[in-house]
Amino acid sequence: MAIDTAEFVSPRTLREALDIRATGSHTVLAGGTDFYPARVGKPLTEPVLDITKIADLRGISRTDDGFRIGALTTWSDIMAADLPSGFDGLKKSAARVGGIQIQNVGTIAGNLCNASPAADGVPPLLTLDASVELSSVGATRVLPLSDFLVGYRETALRSDELVTAILVPSSLANASSEFLKLGARTYLVISIAMVAVAIAFDELGEAQRVRVAIGACSPVAQRAHQLEADLVGRRGDLGALVTREHLNILSPIDDVRAAATDRLDAALHMVQRAIRNCLQ
């Protein structure tokens, strides 16, 4: 990758980074695993704000009402973290992002900001009711992830903002959770479809809180709200209650990886299986 006339800055503090970001002229660089592939064959001429030296943005901590995942937390960090069962789905998604080299540098915020329909981190974070913390000079706002992702490769991020953290409330932290990804092979593959489920059961085995999200089958990963509502208060084989109508929220496309109809078939079976896996 040729670096031509580009200005390349690597501040060590968030304050410095936000001051630079306030100019609105710099493109943000984190792990670079989406940034550089998008620029192959093109000289880098835009000013770049490399945020990887801001240590405070990396790591997972507990807060009064849940968990704070720093923007620069890598997929490998997530896999290694000591987290309750509600995060099992997120950990499984981390293990399926690219391969080990990608997991070591690719960050959770980079995955969300790139806003690919096939971003593996999105469905499990939707099932955890995650929010995105956006910081600019003198201001911080928090958006539910579903409001942050506004369309195909489109987010609500402003040009003066950085994503500083992903916030996860404790409400589903102890749920049973699962993530399934269908691809042409196990590693280094873009998802044909992926499914995340989180279910909190009561002591009688009745589903109390249910979250189901499906990715790579619409411009933005979708929560299956009707299915979730239909499963609350139910027990036994919840997978058997999933119908094709529950997936009417999806709008898959035909592409080189799969036909739309195959994606829908796969999504149905994966939702059923993911729910059954949560029961075990």
CB 143 within 8 A of CB 212: no
Q: Which is nearer to ligand FAD, 207 or 258 (CB)?
A: 258
State the nearest-atom distance from the C-beta of 29 to ligand FAD, in Å.
Answer: 5
Instruction: Collect all residues with Cβ–Cβ distance below 8 Å to 41 and sequence separation of at least 6.
Output: none
Cβ nearer to ligand FAD, comparing 94 with 271 = 94
Question: Is the torsion defined by CA of 213, 215, 217, 221 positive or negative?
Answer: positive
CB of 97 to ligand FAD, least distance (A): 4
> Least separation, in Å, of the C-beta of 60 and ligand FAD?
15
Give 113 or 175: the residue with its C-beta nearer to ligand FAD: 113
Q: Which is nearer to ligand FAD, 107 or 177 (CB)?
A: 107
Structure token digits, residue 19? 């001051």
Helix (H) or strand (E) holding 198: strand 193-201
Q: 101 or 243, CB closer to ligand FAD?
A: 101
Cα-based distances in Å from 3 to 7, 31, 38, 39, 52: 9, 17, 14, 11, 18
d(CA 59, CA 61): 7
**Smallest gap, in angstroms, from Cβ of residue 99 to ligand FAD?**
7
Q: At closest approach, how far in Å is the CB of 148 from ligand FAD?
A: 11
CA 178 to chain CA centroid, nearest Å: 14
Residue of closest CB approach to ligand FAD:
110
List the strands of the sheet with 48-50, edge to edge. 8-9, 48-50, 27-29
Q: Which residues of the shown chain bind ligand FAD in the complex (CB under 6 A)? A: 27-35, 37, 51, 71, 96-98, 102, 106-107, 109-111, 113-114, 119-120, 157, 162-163, 188
- Alpha-carbon distance of 280 to 275, in angstroms, equals 9
Shortest gap between Cβ of 172 and ligand FAD (angstroms)? Answer: 21
For tokens 């945020």, name the residue: 51
C-alpha gyration radius of the chain: 19
